[in-house]
Structure 1
Amino acid sequence: MSVLEDEPEPVRKHKKKSDGELFVVACGVRKVWSKELKGLDKPSEQIRHLRKMLMDLGMKGRMSLEQAKAIRQKREFQQELKDVKADEEDDDNLWSDVDVKRQPRLAITQSINAFLGDVEEGD
């Protein structure tokens, strides 16, 4: 017999709801719970909504903190990968701009070197 089974029904449902919120947060998702659960008056509706959120995040079977941590790591890795790809695109755009600007600089440098070479030959 678990601790939850010894307690009255409303207390059990409240603890399950709190556990659901805990698992969602452990998955790396931050929510304003008053807004998220707005309109869901019954604890059973709130629990159902939290379980659906967890399923959408990738939690399968029995909820556990280990599974939530794995989901969080996966989400963080995907976000880092997305950031790296975005940085690469920004770098590509930056370098393409530099190449366009570098052509006149190269021409200026060549003309200065040519001038300096002429001046040295003239001495």
Structure 2
Amino acid sequence: ALEYYQKDLEISRKHLGDDHVHVATTQYNMANVHVIMMNTEEARRLFWRCAEVYEQVYGAQHSNTVNAQIKACVVSPFGLVVVVVLALIIVVSLYFIIIVTYSLLSWFGGRVCSWARLGVDWPAEL
């Protein structure tokens, strides 16, 4: 894929110039390939270059600009570690929420069902 993106980049630069959105988008796609290949330095460089062009064309608050800036920050090895740790924290938190909710529903649900079968009203202390 990188070979075809490189050809696209050469042709686009020749006809459109370095600061064109199409050139930046090609660099963005190349950066994504570099991330997959674990070439983090090249990916960061391309994401930052892409973010610069997007900011010139779209503005600093545009989603394309912000997305490229975020990816440039996250691609560094330290950034990837932070993202993985945050994802693990979220997964573990959700797991505990599900377990606690299931336990409470099982406990209360079992009580309500057994009392209903016996014709007993819901106890006031619960």
Q: TM-score, normalised by structure 2?
A: 0.38
- Bigger Rg, which one: 1
Q: TM-score, normalised by structure 1?
A: 0.39
